[in-house]
Amino acid sequence: MRVRVPFGRRRLIGVVMEVADSSELAPERLRPVLEVLDPAPLLDPGALELIRWAADYYHHPIGQVLASALPKALRLGAGSIATEEYWTVTEAGAAALAAGELRRAPRQRALLELLLSLGGAATAPALEAHAPGWREGARALAARGLAARSARALAAASEPERARPAGPALLPEQRAAVEQVARAAGTFAAFLLEGITGSGKTEVYLELTAQTLALGRGVLVLVPEIGLTPQLVGRFRERFAAPLAVVHSALTDQERLGAWRAAWSGSARIVLGTRSAVFAPLRDLGLIVVDEEHDASFKQHEGALRYSARDLALVRAQRAHVPVLLGSATPSLETLHNVAAGRYARLRLSRRPGESQPPLLKLIDLRVSALEAGISTPAALAMERHLAADGQVLVFLNRRGYAPTLLCTACGWIAPCRECDARLTVHLAAQRLRCHHCGADAPLPARCPQCGFTVKAVGQGTERIESALATRFPGVPIVRLDRDVVRKRGDLEQVVRRMRSGEARILVGTQMVTKGHDFPNVTLVLVLNADQGLFSPDFRAPERLAQTIVQVAGRAGRGARAGEVLIQTEFPQHPLLVSLLAQGYDGFAQAALAERREAQWPPFSRLAAVRASAVTREAALGFLSEARAAAHAPPRGVRLLGPVPAAMAKRAGRYHAQLLLEGRERRPLHQFLDDWLPGVEALKSAQRVRWALDVDPLELF
Ligand code: ADP
Ligand code: ZN
Ligand code: ZN
């Protein structure tokens, strides 16, 4: 429970973790708690244990773990978790409206009318549902005494009786998956649900959710990014009468608090959210689902507490004695390793409902086919063929903007970012040069600032591909999907709608197109550049590449027609591509796991990284060298590697470096961290840098 306590001369919010009978301090040195903010514990015992576990495993102070887990409003002392925000029309408000005042403030008047139509009072979520963006008007009304804000106890859980559409009859594989997981109800068990996009995983989640709710228990569903999976939220809303709490990073503090309160009180029986939702309080948790479990966005890789929500979901399920279901078309190698070790049970969905063939993958050898504006002749011919046959085409390129480089052909000048070791990307339509690492933004020069000669955009980005295709296929409507196009709510939906309605025939996009969307009439997928992931120093790059290819390929042929997938590469003999094409993701994963075992990379070893950044290179590396020196004799099986500058050492004006720790086993590595970290914290040089420990880092830079 939260308490307000005196702290020096200040008053702070604290969280009571335990109550002790006695204290080491003399009673007269203890000060009384000023106020208890919550009437009951904020976290259920399972969630509290999860917090303790995370503090221990990520070697992070428990107070800061709690701070990362709780919504900001609770941290700052917002009213009790057991109440909800409630707005009422005051007498003065009703009188003002009746007297026809407020003519000059139509939004305030509309809000008062809405409140009256809702019976003179409404909760914040109700107002949000009827009048998005209502809060400003409400504040203005409150300031004039025309409406008032208060808190009231949350309504008890109620399940309105509404007719809901039933799901489709499950296919045998889906039914088998549901039965296996359902049989584990009330105990911990981990499952991998493996099936390509469209194979019916979501239907399995929905059916299991229905069964769990029927047992009177709640369901936690974790997804990578809400913005990219609106269809999933929609399907849960449509299927269940039980209110849903949706938790993601774009919520305002008040919305997040509202979602927490709904989950805490049990008025929402389903919590659907991105990684921080793994800490959400749920009444009688009965099932955890992690959709797209391989997705890197489950890893919090910035800030102080760097955690994997996927891994925490497993711990939470274990502590709460409930089953956890990990779903993916392209499971992470860690998860496949756990399956092989017998820790997770594997459930497979091998085909798409109502469809015969999976898409056919082919390589286009760029050493023998000419490229024109990034597109090879065989690829262009295939596009023509599919467009003529009334199909839609998806063109994937993992680089937004017009071109990644601006070059002077006379003196060789390349537009650099001043704050990063990176080039500026050309954004032609906007006439800007932008850094994709720090956000730097400058006008696009017409001439070389060094010698005055004309400059040239080199390489391909989605913006350039879009315009090249417009020239090549005149009259064929094209849409683009990347972070430059999707800037506000509704933008993504608009692109998706234009593709689904058939109004657009070609979709050009980045990673964003790989997530969650169903384009049933796409018959051809073109991967323009597969080679970025093949020769990276990061041992996880091939895994990410294979996942991306399979996920993009999954967008093809989801309707009745079989799809075709063409991958442009300069390395058609590369063993990774060969195994992926010949044996699919499974074959690739086996080969990649064998390589990892050979090289002793995770999951065959454990990693942790100490990351530091500072305004000078010397400060960042100096701190890490001292940290390394503080590890006098690391135990057997624990190695320290580095320190080394990051691959992109300078980012946003700071120099980044890391010290890597590798352990053959988890226990000695963590024991070593426990012994070593206090000394690192005590270093004087630690004060001069920003640093953080990253346990199980996903990206090695
Ligand atoms: P995934 O989550 O694996 O991408 P979905 O559950 O979204 O797959 O299923 C893909 C499509 O097939 C959806 O439109 C869904 O409604 C439909 N579908 C799934 N299972 C069945 C089934 N048993 N019978 C008929 N249609 C189904
Ligand atoms: Zn020049
Ligand atoms: Zn930059």
Three-state SS letters, 508-573: EECHHHHCCCCCCCEEEEEECCCHHHCCCCCCCHHHHHHHHHHHHHCCCCCCCCCCEEEEEECCCC
CA-nearest residue for atom 20, ligand 1, is 200
501 residue type, one letter: S
Q: By three-state DSSP, how is residue 227 classified?
A: helix
Check if 299 has its Cβ closer than 6 Å to any atom of ligand 1: no
The amino acid occupying position 620 is A
* Token pair listed for 429: 């339509």
State the pairing for strand pair 2-7/35-36: antiparallel
- Please name which ligand lies nearest the alpha carbon of 558: 1
Distance (Å, rounded) from C-alpha 266 to C-alpha 244?
A: 10
In a 3-state reduction of DSSP, which class is residue 599?
Answer: helix
The candidate with the shortest Cα–Cα distance to 228, out of 566, 493, 476, is 493
Smallest CA separation from ligand 1 atom 18, residue: 200
Query: Are the C-beta atoms of residues 290 and 181 closer than 8 Å to each other?
Result: no
> How are the residues of the chain apportioned to helix, strand and coil, as percentages rounded to the nearest 5?
35, 25, 40
**CA dihedral (119, 123, 126, 132) positive or negative:** positive
Q: Which residues lie below 8 Å from residue 421, measured CB to CB, with a gap of 6+?
A: 648, 649, 650, 651
Atom of ligand 1 nearest to the CA of 232: 7
- CA–CA gap between residue 391 and residue 405 (Å, rounded): 34
Q: Which of 196, 201, 202, 205 has most ligand 1 atoms within 8 Å of CB, for mutation?
A: 202
CA distance readout (Å), 225 to 191, 249, 515: 22, 9, 9
Q: Which residue reads 């995983």 in tokens? A: 201
Classify 670 as helix, strand or coil: helix
Backbone angles phi, psi at 74, to 5 degrees: -70, -40
**β-bridge pairing 218-222 and 285-291:** parallel
Residue ranges of the chain with per-residue pLDDT less than 50: 160-161
Note the pLDDT of residue 473. 95
The DSSP bridge partners found for residue 645 are: 657
Q: Which among 257, 19, 9, 270 has a CA at the least distance from the CA of 124?
A: 257
CA distance 685 to 674: 20
Output the CA 405–ligand 2 centroid distance in Å: 14
Residue 40 contacts by C-beta under 8 Å, 6 or more apart in sequence? 1, 81, 82
Number of H helices, E strands in the chain: 20, 30
Hey, whose CA ends up nearest to atom 25 of ligand 1? Answer: 168
Amino acid of residue 310: R
* Among candidate residues 383, 373, 372, 314, the one with its CA nearest the CA of residue 343: 314
* Atom of ligand 1 at shortest range from CA of 291: 2
Q: How far is C-alpha 331 from the geometric centre of its chain's CA atoms? A: 16
* Cα gap 354→351, rounded to integer Å: 9
Phi, psi at residue 251, to the nearest 5°? -70, 150
**Residue appearing with tokens 């972070």:** 483
Question: Closest residue (by CA) to atom 27 of ligand 1?
Answer: 353
Q: How far is CA 696 from the centre of its chain?
A: 17
Which ligand has the nearest atom to the CA of 448?
2
Q: Which ligand is nearest to the CA of 436?
A: 3
* Cβ–Cβ < 8 Å for 651, 623: no
Using a 6 Å cutoff on CB, does residue 459 contact ligand 1? no
Nearest ligand to the CA of 437 is 3
Residue 178: predicted pLDDT:
97
User: 150 has which bridge partners?
Assistant: 86
- pLDDT score, position 163: 55
Sheet-wide strand order for 270-273: 244-247, 270-273, 218-222, 285-291, 323-328, 189-195, 344-349
Residue 328 Cβ inside 6 Å of ligand 1? The answer reads no
- For residues 398 and 459, the answer to whether their CB atoms sit within 8 Å is no
Indicate whether residue 198 lines ligand 1 (CB < 6 A): yes
Q: Taking the CB of residue 225, how many other CB atoms lie within 10 A of it?
A: 17
Q: Are 512 and 462 in contact (CB under 8 A)?
A: no
**Distance (Å, rounded) from C-alpha 252 to C-alpha 239?**
26
**Residue whose C-alpha is closest to residue 150's, from 126, 129, 121, 127:** 121
Ligand 1, atom 19, lies closest to the CA of 200
Contacts of 267 (CB under 8 A, 6+ apart): 154, 155, 156, 157, 158, 243
| Residue 540 token pair | 């996880």
Q: Whose CA is nearest to atom 9 of ligand 1?
A: 200
| 201, 203, 500: residue to mutate for ligand 1 pocket, most atoms within 8 A of CB | 203
**Cβ(559) to ligand 1 under 6 A?**
no
Question: Which pLDDT score, from 0 to 100, does residue 601 have?
Answer: 92
Residues in CB range of 622: below 8 A, 6 or more apart: 685
Cα separation, 205 vs 262, in Å, equals 21
The bound ligand whose nearest atom lies closest to the alpha carbon of 652 is 3
Task: Using CB atoms within 10 Å of the CB of residue 167, give its burial: 0 to 12 exposed, 13 to 18 middle, 19+ buried.
Answer: middle
Among positive and negative, which fits the CA dihedral 291, 62, 40, 248?
Answer: negative
- Give me the sign of the Cα torsion angle 66, 71, 72, 74: negative
The DSSP bridge partners found for residue 361 are: 565
Predicted local confidence at residue 161, as pLDDT: 44
What is the number of the ligand 1 atom nearest to the C-alpha of 516?
Answer: 4
409 alpha carbon – ligand 2 mean position (Å): 7
Work out whether strand 432-434 and strand 425-427 pair parallel, antiparallel, or are unpaired: antiparallel
Give the orientation angle of helix 575-599 with respect to helix 541-553, to 10 degrees.
Answer: 140
The residues, any chain, with a CB within 8 Å of residue 484's CB and separated by 6 or more, are: 400, 401, 427, 430, 462, 463
